[in-house]
Amino acid sequence: MTVVLGGASSGKSDFSEKICAHSGLVRIYLASAQIFDEEMRTKAERHRTNRGTDWCTIEEPYAADRVISEAREGQILLFDCATLWLTNHLLAEHDLDRETDKLLAAIRQSPAQIVVVSNEVGLGIVPENALARRFRIAQGALNRRLAGEATTVVGVMAGLPFVLKGSLPEGLL
């Protein structure tokens, strides 16, 4: 598994898509976003158009573990993103530890290559409300668990990747 971390609009999704394209494998895009308004719908359509037609897109806000379990050898699955997946579970008041355990188990058992996009939220100030503080703590814990399992962890800032763990194939940096 490769984990790509960065702030909002840092370029992490673009870099993750580049990793997948470089792999030469069949590409699956697992989208965790829920579309609640026209702005989000427009953003999702723009991303889908930019990716092109050689991606199989699966929209699944909660059961990422199920989709990952169905991925096969010869495929690369881009999970974009763990942050929205976590938010979906947090707001639904699901057991975050249990859901994270299921996600990591599916990743461990998958014969496919997995790329996970996640937001780094620990670089800002302490949020003023309890829900935002709970989210920040949960996101930090999720990122640490993902990074601990990953063979490669890449940070992205201003569109520029930097390897935190492992290495990337030639031509990606």
Instruction: Identify the H or E element spanning 74.
Output: none
* Residue 170 CA to its chain's centroid (Å): 22
Instruction: Identify the H or E element spanning 19.
Output: helix 12-23
Say whether 89 is catalytic.
no
Rounded-to-integer distance, Cα 59 and Cα 67, Å: 9
Instruction: Identify the H or E element spanning 73.
Output: none
Rounded-to-integer distance, Cα 75 and Cα 23, Å: 9
The Cβ of residue 163 has, within 10 Å, a number of other Cβ atoms equal to 13
Structure token pair of residue 98:
């249990």
22, 47, 89, 94: the catalytic one is 47
Rounded-to-integer distance, Cα 79 and Cα 107, Å: 11
Rounded-to-integer distance, Cα 139 and Cα 119, Å: 8
Query: Which residues form the catalytic set?
Result: 47
